Amino acid sequence: MNRLSLAEEIIGLALRRGADMADVYIKDYKNLSVEVKQQDVESLDSSETIGIALRVIRQKRLGFSFTTDVDSIGKMVDDAVEASRWSGEDVYLDLPERSIASDIDIFDEKIADVSEGSAIENALMLEKSALSFDRRIKKVRKASAFFYCSFTSFANSKGVRAHYKGTIVSSHIMAIAEDKGDSQMAWDMGIARFLEAIDFSAIGKSAADNAVSLLGARRISAVKAPVILDPFVATEFLGILASSFNSDNIQKGKSMLKGKLGMDIMSPVITIVDNGQMQRGIGSTPVDDEGVPTMKKDVVAKGKLLCYLYNTYTARKDNTVSTGNAVRGDFKGIPSVGVTNLYIEKGDIDRGALVKLPGRAIYIMEAMGMHTINPISGDFSVGVTGLWMENGEVAYPVKEAVISGNILDLFRRVRAVGSDLRFYGRVGSPSLLIEDIDISG
């Protein structure tokens, strides 16, 4: 039996056993991961799994259950219906209606069919490129490659039907440089839907280059100066801010953007997009995780907050429509609200031109303690490492500096946006030039 037919059978069984509405989410996936150390295979893991999730609504009460065993479907249905008897009544519970979805290019046969030998070869190349980059690269702490293939089937009792397949390849490396008693560590990663989009050798060299560039790093005295955020650091800040676009957080008063719809909240050079229709995007799918077609929307346009992100439930609470942002961490949970591909639109200034500033500036390559940022107030104080710039040239690397402030104020101070947009999973950003901020040593 194909997966859509199985989903339809489960829905029918749930309705016969008392559910008023039901949806079924089925995920078949296989993983292959390899980690190497000193040009030997440290670990090699592969797995194949099926997950089936059932959500029922009965008398405006929610029930949920899941299984990894196709032969246990009857029990899963009974568990979900029984759970609905004990949950509280909620008038906003509903399922989406059927609508037309677009095809998205997110599947690569080369990843789906990758052999263990090929996976190992790519991981070895990743490590070798870092080790051979510079004599000061003494070791690599971690060099890994991950290959993922999934088949998703979705159906609900209102006629929604969807089936799509997707692939992901990712790599990660941590390189350590040592010279004259100093040791510096840096990393890089790559993630894509298609194997051809990952250059394992370039990723290894980039990590090694970053580590070497930080050798001889020194502390600085307190100063006020412009800051240039590397795409990775800018992406981290955007990732923290992402939770504030979440309509569930808005409704619960857990967002710094509550009540700010239609207001200017950032610099006019900032436009933030959430685009679930992006071809080859990590967060792209034809429909979201409850069957609503994904879409492209400007969340912030030229600094103005235009919309929040919704799933079906939160949209009903605000008397609006879903934006196609229902997401599941995996099949073991019900849909929540999340981003698809969230990014700051790139500008037209390349990174080389962005750093060619007269005077002083700090190029921030890494920020430590991002997890300590308060996602509700936006207040932060994080340690940073990077490069101190003098008139567009690197003067020396910097360590143990601290920048503090508020995320919204940080984005209000952005004066230029680079053209080097890069994604780290579902979130991406180009380099950002920020006007003078306080930097403590």
- The single-letter code of the amino acid at 424 is Y
Joined together, the tokens standing for residue 339 give 């981003």
CATH fold label, 3-212: PmbA/TldD fold (3.30.2290)
Q: What is the mean pLDDT of residues 325-332?
A: 95
* Model pLDDT, residue 261: 97
Checking if the pLDDT of 1 tops 70, the result is no
Q: Name 336's bridge partners.
A: 327
Q: Given the structure tokens 């100093």, which residue do they identify?
A: 182
Checking if the pLDDT of 229 tops 80, the result is yes
Share the mean pLDDT of the chain.
96
Using alpha carbons, list the distances in angstroms from residue 325 to 22, 283, 322, 346.
19, 10, 7, 23
Measuring CA to CA, which residue among 21, 24, 19, 30 is closest to residue 5?
24
Checking if the pLDDT of 387 tops 80, the result is yes
CA distance 430 to 235: 8
Q: Do 312 and 94 touch, CB atoms closer than 8 A?
A: yes
Q: If pLDDT is split at 50, 70 and 90, which confidence band does 441 have?
A: confident
Minimum mean pLDDT range among 26-35, 166-175, 218-227: 218-227
pLDDT digits (tens, 9 = 90+) for 345-386: 999 999 888 888 878 999 999 999 998 999 899 999 999 999
Q: In the sheet where 61-67 sits, what is the strand order?
A: 61-67, 40-58, 21-37, 137-156, 161-179, 182-192
- Residue 159 CB coordination number (10 Å): 12
Question: Would the pTM count as exceeding 0.75?
Answer: yes
Question: What's the start-to-end Cα distance of the chain, in Å?
Answer: 64
Which residue ranges make up each domain of the chain? 3-212, 217-441
